[in-house]
Each structure stands twice: as structure tokens, then as C-alpha cells.
Amino acid sequence: MLYDAHGTELASGVNRREELQDPTAHAEIEAIRAAVQVHGDGWRLTGCELVVTLEPCAMCAGALQAARIGSVVFGAFEPKTGACGSLVDVLRAPGALYIPEVRAGILEGDCQALLRNFFNTLR
């Protein structure tokens, strides 16, 4: 879910990689694409907050920086591909052009359960 600076929902996204056969169709990317269509400042999502169940990967973290998203909140850590501190930290890398606030591990157990159910239905 992507919220504007006032807490109003701008857009949401779900992982559609398998459905679309598109490796970039992660939930974060889908939400960003939808949000820029309704946000008043074009592609700049400054002051907006992204809330996701799983720690963003490097591709999504790069997109969050490019969109100038103000903060990222995620529940479950992803040790294999997480790019907000687990495997690498794209968002807070030295020399990063834009560094959003990151809040991690929020409702971690609940998010892990949701993810388990989601991936079990894909298999």
C-alpha cells in the first residue's frame, strides 16, 4: 500500500510476476506505477509511505529511491534477497542520492504467515 503524506491511500499492488510473466511485477513496483497516475506530483512520491509485508528486493529498493518515497515500512525480513538491511542495504548505502526512512519488522509474525500462505498457493 502506498499512502500520501496525509495518510490517504494512493494505491496498492500485489505480486503479479507469475500472472503477467513479468519479472518486474513485484507488489512495490505495481503500487508505484498506480500511485504516479493519481499523485499530484507526477513520478515524485516525496512524503509518501510504502507499507509492504516483505522486505523489498534490490530492484524495488532502487525504484523506491527513484520515486523519492519518504518512508518504507515492512514486516518480514528476506535473508535471500532483502535489500533494506538483510542481504544488502540499497536504501541506506553510502553515497545514496536519496535515503528514505525505513521501519522494519513491523507485525513480523503476521507478515510471515501471510507470505507462507501466499507462496503455498502458488506451488
The catalytic residues are: 28
Nearest to 35 by CA among 67, 60, 61: 67
SS3 category, 95: coil
> Is the Cβ–Cβ distance between 45 and 35 less than 8 Å?
yes
For the beta carbon of residue 53, count every other beta carbon within 10 angstroms.
19
